[in-house]
Amino acid sequence: MSQYKIPEWEINGVKLPFDFDDLDTMERYKKALAQMNKDAKTVIVEGDRAEIIKSHYDIFSKVYDTIFGEGTSEKIFKGKANLRQCFETYDNFVEFVKQCRNRSDNAYNQRMQKYIGKDKRNKRKHK
């Protein structure tokens, strides 16, 4: 086994492991984004400000609880529903995931080049 250290998303003093190469993690991530897209169709964007904040907070909370486990959003937001914090936290998470994806893609491409390149060299030797 490798000595790979699973990346941790650190936000508001909370560290959350997120392994972009792990099937269970990716299935939870995919499920959370699908639910978010569905919920976004009914999010409150006009009218009572408190309802707008609650509507958005509920959507973002569901994302983190789905990916990292029930109660995660409570730890992240420390029980405070703040619209600005919801968006800033999500922006931070999106950037973190992008970095994880880039790291994973680079490692995958290097391995594929190593193995495919080796295979091509072996074929040339045996001609």
pLDDT tens digits, residue range 19-74? 999 999 999 999 999 999 999 999 999 999 999 999 999 999 999 999 999 999 99
CA angle, corner 106, sides to 1 and 34, nearest 5?
90
Q: Which stretches within 41-82 are classed as H helix?
A: 49-68, 72-77
> What's this model's pTM, rounded to 2 decimal places?
0.85
Q: Total domain count for the chain? A: 1
Question: Which range marks the domain in which residue 117 is found?
Answer: 17-125
| Residue 107 included in any domain | yes
| pLDDT band of 125, cuts 50, 70, 90 | low
In this predicted structure, the answer to whether residue 123 has a pLDDT above a threshold of 80 is no
| Residue 65 included in any domain | yes
| Residue 104 included in any domain | yes
Through-space distance between the first and last CA atoms of the chain, rounded to whole angstroms = 35
| Residue 29 included in any domain | yes
Return the minimum-mean-pLDDT range out of 46-50, 80-84, 97-101, 103-107.
103-107
| Residue 3 included in any domain | no
| Residue 45 included in any domain | yes
| Residue 11 included in any domain | no
Give CA 79 to chain center in angstroms. 21
